Amino acid sequence: MNRAINEANQAIIERIRAARPHWIGVVAAKEAVPTLAQGYKLLHAGPPISWQDMTGPMQGACIGACLFENWASDEKPALDLLANGKVEFIPCHSVNAVGPMGGITSANMPMLVVENITHGNRAYCNLNEGIGKVMRFGAYGEEVLHRHHWMKESLGPALNDALKLFENGIDLTALMAQAITMGDEFHQRNIAASALLLRTLSPKLALLDRNKTEMAKIFDFLSVTDQFFLNLAMAYCKSVMDSAAQIQEGTIVTVMTRNGKDFGIKVSGLGDEWFTAPVNTPQGLFFTGYSQNEANPDIGDSAITETFGIGGAAMVAAPGVTRFVGAGGADVAYEVSEEMSEIYLDHNMLLQIPSWNFQGCCLGLDVRRVVETGITPLINTGIAHKQAGVGQIGAGTVRAPLACFEKALEALAKKLKV
C-alpha cells in the first residue's frame, strides 16, 4: 500500500520538477474559458459557493463584473441579477484558472495564458490591477471599471503582442529562480519578479507600433504595480499542479483555495473532489485606520502558491515581508519555513533560497504529514475589508483549517480500503 502511494507521490514530484511554464499570451477570458462566452457566468475563487454565502469582497467584485460586462447599468439591477440566481458561478479551479482574492472573472476580462511546455497544459489568471480600490478586493466604482476597460483594450493586447515577439513566450522558471534570490516569495512579495518581468518585456514592448502616450501609460502601470507578477505566479503554480494532478494517485495536495467561507483542497489521489472546512480569518498588520475587526475571512485562489511550495512556505526567502508573521522577524521566518518543510515531501532545487542555506523551496504538500503533525500550511495573504467596495486594508498570514485535510485522509483510506 505505502509503496504504491510513495511511487505515485514520487511521480507527482517528478512532474512538478519537470514542469516549465511559459507566459505565452493575454487573451479574453471567454477565449481561455469558452464556457464564459454564453450567458451570465462568472468565475470565482475557492471551492463552489452561492451568491448568498459570498462575503463582501466577492459580492462587490460580482457587481463590478456585471457592470463591466454591461449586464446591468447600475449597482441595483446588478444586485437583482445576482440575487435572483441569473448568474452562474464557476470556481476558477474547475476551468484551469485561478483568481486572487474574489477571483471574479467575466467573459471579456483579459487573462494571462501560461503554458507548461513540458506537459502541454495551460493555466489562466486575470491581470493584476494594482493596489487600493481594486475589484479583486471588492471595489467596483467608476475608477475601478475604468481601469478594467483600459486593461482590456490597451494593456492586455499590448502585452499579448509583445509576448508574440518572443520565440516561446517568457520562461517563468528562470525568472523566478532569480527573483527568489532577490527576496520574493511570490505571494506577499513579487517586487523583484515584477521588475525582472518588466526588464524582459521592455525591449519587445518598445517595438510595438502604438501611440507613445498609451505606451507610457503601460510602462508606468507595470513600473508601479509591485504585485503584477503575483497573477503570473498563480497561473504558473496552477499549470504545474494541474499537470501533477494527472497522476490521480498519491497523497499530495494539488489545490488549496478559499472563497471567504470555506477553505477547499483537492488531493491527487482523490481526483476532482473538494474537501472543505470553514476558513480562518487572516491576522496581520493593518493600514492606519483599519483593524482586525474589519478583516474579511480568508479568500482567494492565491494559496495555489503555497500548494506548489512558495508563498508562506518560502517565507525565509523574503526578508521584506518576514515581520508579517510576528515581531521576531527573520528568525520567525526561518522557523516558518522549517516548520513547513515538515509537511512537504521534498525540496525544489530550481528555486533555491540563499537565506535558507540554498535549500530549495518546499515541494509536495502531503496530506498525511499535515494530519500526522497537525501543522497546517501557513498562507501569506492580503487582507480585504469585509464590506464590499472598501478594498485591501492590510496583509498578514492565515492557516489552512486542519479539518479539510482530515476529511481528505479519511476519503483516501476509504478509496484505498484500509
Partner 1 sequence: MIQSFIKKGSFQDSVSLMLISKKLSNLDEVDEVSVMMGTPANKSLLTATGFWSDKFNDATPNDICVAIKTNNDSINVVDLISTQLEDALKNIAQQQQGGSKLLKARRYASATQKLPDANLVLISIAGEYAAELAEQAIDDNKNVMIFSDNVPVNDEIRLKTKASSKDLIVMGPDCGTAIIAGAPLAFANVIPKGNIGVIGASGTGIQEVISQIALLNQGITQAIGLGGRDLSQEVGGISALTALKMLAADEQSQVITFISKPPAESVREKVINAMKLINKPIVALFLGSTIDKVQDENIYFAKTLDQAARLACLLAKVEVAARALPKVTKQTISGLYTGGTLASEAAMLLAQELHLSINEDHDKGIMLDENGHKIIDLGDDFYTVGRPHPMIDPSIREQEISKLGAQKTVGVVLLDLVIGYGANPNPAESIIAGYKAACAQRSSDNPLIAIATVTGSQQDPQCRSQQITALTENNIVVMDNLPEAVLLAKKLITPTKSTGSLKSYPLLNHISVINAGLRSFAEDLQSSNVSVVHYQWAPIAGGNQKLAAILKKLN
Residues interacting with partner 1, by CB under 8 A?
A: 1-2, 5, 131-132, 224, 251, 285-290, 320-321, 323-324, 327, 329-331, 334-335, 338-339, 341-342, 368-369, 371-375, 394, 402, 406, 409-410, 412-413, 416, 418
User: Looking at beta carbons only, is 79 or 131 nearer to partner 1?
Assistant: 131
User: Looking at beta carbons only, is 242 or 366 nearer to partner 1?
Assistant: 366
User: Looking at beta carbons only, is 7 or 342 nearer to partner 1?
Assistant: 342
C-alpha closest to that of 32 among 92, 86, 88, 104: 92
Say if CB 255 and CB 264 are below 8 A apart: yes
DSSP string, 24-62: EEEEEHHHHSGGGGSSSEEEESSS---GGG--HHHHHHH
| Residues 166, 148: Cα–Cα separation, whole Å | 26
Say if CB 99 and CB 44 are below 8 A apart: yes
Measured from the CB of residue 406, what is the shortest distance to partner 1 in angstroms?
6
Say if CB 285 and CB 321 are below 8 A apart: no
Measured from the CB of residue 377, what is the shortest distance to partner 1 in angstroms?
14
User: Looking at beta carbons only, is 91 or 377 nearer to partner 1?
Assistant: 377
User: Looking at beta carbons only, is 25 or 56 nearer to partner 1?
Assistant: 56
Measured from the CB of residue 372, what is the shortest distance to partner 1 in angstroms?
5
User: Looking at beta carbons only, is 29 or 193 nearer to partner 1?
Assistant: 193
User: Looking at beta carbons only, is 216 or 416 nearer to partner 1?
Assistant: 416
User: Looking at beta carbons only, is 21 or 396 nearer to partner 1?
Assistant: 396
- Enter the C-alpha cell of residue 93: 479551479
Measured from the CB of residue 371, what is the shortest distance to partner 1 in angstroms?
5
Measured from the CB of residue 402, what is the shortest distance to partner 1 in angstroms?
8
Say if CB 244 and CB 12 are below 8 A apart: yes
Measured from the CB of residue 366, what is the shortest distance to partner 1 in angstroms?
10
Measured from the CB of residue 35, what is the shortest distance to partner 1 in angstroms?
36
| Residues 291, 314: Cα–Cα separation, whole Å | 27
Say if CB 382 and CB 395 are below 8 A apart: yes
- Enter the C-alpha cell of residue 252: 499530495
User: Looking at beta carbons only, is 323 or 399 nearer to partner 1?
Assistant: 323
Which DSSP letter does residue 18 get? Answer: H
Measured from the CB of residue 69, what is the shortest distance to partner 1 in angstroms?
28
Measured from the CB of residue 2, what is the shortest distance to partner 1 in angstroms?
6
Distance in angstroms between the alpha carbons of the first and the last residue of the chain: 9
Say if CB 401 and CB 278 are below 8 A apart: yes
| Residue 353: strand, helix, or coil | strand
| Residues 330, 113: Cα–Cα separation, whole Å | 35
Rounded (5°) CA angle 252-255-200 = 105
